[in-house]
Amino acid sequence: MTLTRRTFAVTAAALAATPVPAATSRRPIVIAHRGASGERPEHTPMAYRLAVEEGCDFIEPDLVLTKDGVLVVRHENEIGGTTDVTARPEFAPRKTSKVVDGETVVGWFAEDFTLAELKTLRTRERLPALRPVSAAFDGREAIPTFQEVLDLAKAESQRVGRVIGVYPEMKHPTFLASQGLPIEQRLADALKANGLNSRTAPVFVQCFETAPLKTFAKLSSARRVRLVGGDAKDLVTAAGLKDIATYADGVGPDWSLVIPTLDGALAPATNLVADAHALGLAVHPWTVRAENRFLPETLRSGTDPAAHGDVTAVFAALYAAGVDGLFSDFPGLAVKARA
C-alpha cells in the first residue's frame, strides 16, 4: 500500500505527540543531524536512510533556496565545501564573495544556481580528514530537494513501520529575503502540501533567527524551535526563555548550555531544562559528535582528532538532565545510549 500524504499525517500521532509543555517522562527523540552525517556525506539520501536504519526518530534537512526558488537541502547556501562544484570549470565564473549574516563568505552559492544546474553536481564529505569513511562515498549522489527528503521520510516510515519525522532548519532566512528569496512561505506551503501543517505532525521547524520564526508562525501550525548558540547564554536565562516561549514551542541549545564543561570534564547540568519545561518549552540540544575533536578533554581517546572518544558519557548526561531529544551526527550511538 502506498503511504499517502494524508496517511503519513494521520499515522504520525504516536511520534508527534510531544506535548507542550514537554513531558519529561516520554522517551527523548533522536534527531539525525544532517542524517548519519558522521558516517555518510551530510544531507544525502544515503545519510538519511542510514540514520533511519540506525533507529533515529527525526531526520534533519537544512534548507536553502535555488535561483528559481526551489527548497534544497544543504548545510549552508555556500556549496563549495559539500559538492564537487570547485572541480567544475563551467561553474568557475560563479565563484563570488557575499556578506552572509555579517560574515564575508567566498565561494559558490545555491541561490546563484537553478535547480537543474545544482542537480548536475555531486555531494561530498565536508570534513574528509576527520571522516575518511564518509569521504569514501563522495560523488555518489546529487543534492536533494526538500520534497525529495519528505518523500524519503514517508517511504522510510512505511518500510520500517514507524513514523520518521522531519526537522527542517531555515538557513539564513534574512539574507535569502534580501536576495529576493524569502523562505518562510515556501516552507509553509511545502508542509501544507505534505499533510504536515499541524502541531501534532511529525515536524519541527528550527531557526537561529527570531523574526523568521514569528513570520512562519503566521503561516503554519507546525511546531517551532529557536536555536541558540553556545555564545548566546542570555537567550537561555529565565527572561530569555520566557521570550522564546512567546513565539516557539521549543529551544535548541548548544549542548554545552545544558551540560557545561569544567577543567576538561563534564560538569553538572544547568537549570536550562527545568526552566524551559516550566514554560512549556521542549529542549533539543545540538550537536553530539563522537570524534575527539568535539569532546571534552577527559572524554577523548588518544590524541587523534578523528578517533572516537567516550561520547556515551555526553549522551548519558543529556538524557539524565531530562532533555526531550537531541541532535547527533551518529544517531545509532544516540539510540544505543538511550536504551
277 has catalytic annotation: no
pLDDT band, very low/low/confident/very high, at 307 (cuts 50, 70, 90): very high
At residue 14, the pLDDT reads 40
pLDDT band, very low/low/confident/very high, at 7 (cuts 50, 70, 90): very low
Residue 20 has pLDDT above 80, yes or no: no
Residue 229 has pLDDT above 80, yes or no: yes
Query: Cell 545519510 identifies what position?
Result: 47
Residue 10 has pLDDT above 70, yes or no: no
For the residues 299-326, what does the mean pLDDT come to?
98
d(CA 324, CA 318): 9
pLDDT tens by residue, 76-122: 999 999 999 999 999 999 999 999 999 999 999 999 999 999 999 99
Say what the pTM is.
0.92
At residue 9, the pLDDT reads 45
pLDDT band, very low/low/confident/very high, at 8 (cuts 50, 70, 90): very low
Of all residues in the chain, the percent with pLDDT exceeding 90 is 92
Of 146, 183, 169, 168, the closest CA to residue 69 belongs to 183
Residue among 43, 75, 277, 308 flagged as catalytic: 75
Of 150, 73, 69, the closest CA to residue 112 belongs to 69
At residue 26, the pLDDT reads 81
Residue among 33, 43, 284, 308 flagged as catalytic: 33
Name the CATH architecture for the domain at 5-76+131-338.
Alpha-Beta Barrel (3.20)
Residue 218 has pLDDT above 80, yes or no: yes
pLDDT band, very low/low/confident/very high, at 258 (cuts 50, 70, 90): very high
For the residues 194-220, what does the mean pLDDT come to?
98
43 has catalytic annotation: no
For the residues 324-332, what does the mean pLDDT come to?
98
